[in-house]
Amino acid sequence: MARKFILFLFEILYKFIFKQIAFRIDAEVVHNSITGVGEFLGKVGLLEKIFAAVLSNKDKNISQKILGIKFYSPIGLSAGFDYEARLTQITPTLGFGFHSVGTITNNSYEGNPKPMLGRLPKSKSLMVNKGFKNTGARAISTKLKRMMFDIPVGISVGRTNNPNLGQAESVRDVVSAFKIFESAKVSNSYYELNISCPNLSGNVTFYEPKKLDLLLETLDKVKVKKPIFLKMPITKSNQLTLALLNVASKHKIAGVIFGNLQTNRNDPALDKKEAKKFKVGNFSGKATWQRSNELIELAYRNFKDRFVIVGCGGVFSAEDAYIKIKKGAQLVELITGMIFVGPQLIAQINLGLSDRLKTDGFKNISEAVGAGVV
Ligand SMILES: Cc1cc2nc3c(=O)[nH]c(=O)nc-3n(C[C@H](O)[C@H](O)[C@H](O)COP(=O)(O)O)c2cc1C
């Protein structure tokens, strides 16, 4: 009860003081500053311990072992918040059960022309146009191989954002990034293969089953040891999504993530006026909620015995996370909810999930996965 009250106070402070100020400052400036503070706190042992005492998960009923990896909480930081692995030492103290780094590409990229990030407060969404701003696979793998992680780190890999790379070169490019990370032997990690970023240049796609097949066939030859989760688009039809999952099921893909950003500017969750302010980019948060849920359920109905399903998109509360789990997600990822509600949200979701499981008579979260699919 005391923890819940402290978290509630934190939420009030965040929403009514910190956010009021931060939301008036350029979104990228705030993101860079927060990352700097988070990195610093992660290095200061005492502060980290104080945070952990209040925020990190203590309930066993929400921890799971999946593909041999221990997840103390089903809630993970989604790809795109920590491109340079600067926050991996602080996210466990916030209660996260896993943490995606990247998306990282074979070659570095300075980011798309600005604006790269914007806020849509009425729509509870962010405009994203980073296009994989990152320092490249070699630099990040060198950093990751020297580090230890309390929670599993998902290394998100995508194709280098370069319009001059064609389809075949992009396959080689992605595979080369995987080889770099495999040789780095990063501890406590798995991979996310991101085929669904809508902010990249060039005429390359992995949304045609044959093209995805070729990418995954080439990747199979690397004999990657750790599990690979495929990050899927949420903007394709059920029919095409099933065709892509069918292809993935024939390769060394252990899980699927639903999913990436919303490209449809007419999504009912988007306030049209707000969305119109941005000439570029695609949308996170509530604009991804509905379709992500539909696709989690579609994947669960058709591939539950084949894939671990990760739900991602528009999670702002414990109830939201629980809905995704009951639709078939074993794990849940988020970014936007944390920015709108505050960093205490993860601990609040952990507590809320634990309570809901008890109320519904589930001994462990794994029993609730897909419980809403009849
Ligand atoms: C600032 C930002 C950057 C993102 N960059 C990436 C990325 O590099 N790779 C990726 O797979 N997804 C990226 N995404 C998408 C998120 O990982 C996630 O799929 C999407 O935002 C939906 O989750 P949310 O509503 O909890 O934010 C990004 C999202 C945001 C908000």
Cα 131 to ligand 1 centroid, rounded to whole Å:
11
Are 294 and 258 contacting, i.e. CB atoms less than 8 angstroms apart?
no
Q: From the alpha carbon of 333, which atom of ligand 1 is closest?
A: 26
- 3 state DSSP class of 310: strand
DSSP string, 58-111: --GGG-EEETTEEESSSEEEPTTS-TTS-STTTHHHHT-SEEEEEEEESS-B--
Residue 262 has pLDDT above 90, yes or no: yes
Nearest CA to ligand 1 atom 19: 260
The span from the CA of 315 to the CA of 286, in Å, is: 8
Distance 76 CA to ligand 1 centre (A): 12
| Position 193 pLDDT exceeds 70 | yes
**Ligand 1 test: best mutation among 29, 103, 261, most atoms within 8 Å of CB?**
261
Number of neighbours of residue 43 by Cβ within 10 angstroms: 10
Distance between Cα 127 and ligand 1 center (Å)? 10
In 10 A of CB 330, how many CB atoms? 24
Q: Locate the ligand 1 atom nearest the alpha carbon of residue 31 and give its number.
A: 1
pLDDT of residue 44: 80
Span 236-261, mean pLDDT?
97
Ligand 1: which residues within 6 Å by Cβ?
Answer: 78-80, 102-103, 117, 126, 128, 130, 132, 156, 194, 197, 231, 260-261, 284-285, 288, 312-315, 334-337
What integer pLDDT is reported at residue 3 of this predicted model?
Answer: 85
- pLDDT given at position 57: 64
Question: For 265-277, what is each residue's pLDDT tens digit?
Answer: 999 999 999 999 9
Q: How far is CA 213 from CA 183, 201, 218, in A?
A: 24, 22, 9
Atom of ligand 1 at shortest range from CA of 292: 22
Tens-place pLDDT, residues 146-161: 998 989 999 999 999 9
CB 258 within 8 A of CB 234: yes
Question: Residue 46 has what pLDDT?
Answer: 66
Q: What is the largest CA-CA distance in the chain?
A: 57
Q: Which atom of ligand 1 is nearest to the CA of 338?
A: 26
Q: Is the pLDDT of residue 109 over 70?
A: yes
Q: Confidence class of residue 201 from pLDDT cuts 50, 70 and 90?
A: confident
pLDDT value at 50 more than 90: no
Average pLDDT, the chain: 93
In this predicted structure, the answer to whether residue 41 has a pLDDT above a threshold of 90 is no
Angle of helix 2-13 versus helix 45-55 axis, rounded to 10? 110
The pair of three-digit structure tokens given for residue 81, joined into one six-digit string: 């918040």
Provide the sign of the torsion angle of the four alpha carbons 268, 273, 274, 276, taken in this order: positive
Q: Is the pLDDT of residue 363 over 70?
A: yes
Whether the predicted pLDDT of 93 surpasses 80: yes
Predicted local distance difference test score (pLDDT) of residue 229: 98
pLDDT of residue 125: 98
Question: What is the whole-number distance in angstroms between the Cα of residue 317 and the centre of ligand 1?
Answer: 17
Query: Are the CB atoms for 125 and 287 separated by under 8 Å?
Result: yes
Residue 64 has pLDDT above 70, yes or no: yes
Give the global pTM: 0.94
Range 120-139 average pLDDT:
93
What's at 114, amino acid-wise? K
CB-CB neighbours of 201 under 10 Å? 12
Nearest CA to ligand 1 atom 6: 80
For residue 171, give every residue at least 6 positions away whose Cβ sits within 8 Å of its Cβ, in sequence order, or none. 214, 215, 218
Mean pLDDT, residues 276-282: 93
Band of residue 33 on the pLDDT scale cut at 50, 70, 90: confident
DSSP-derived letter for residue 14 is I
The residue with greater pLDDT, 58 or 187, is 187
Task: Give whichever of 128-132, 133-137, 193-197, 237-241 has the largest mean pLDDT.
Answer: 237-241
> If you average pLDDT over residues 97-111, what whole number do you get?
93
DSSP 208-251: SHHHHHHHHHHHHTT---S-EEEEEPSSS-HHHHHHHHHHHHTT
Q: Which atom of ligand 1 is nearest to the CA of 102?
A: 8
* CATH level 3 topology of 2-368: TIM Barrel (3.20.20)
The helix, strand and coil proportions of the chain, stated in percent and rounded to the nearest 5, come to 45, 15, 40
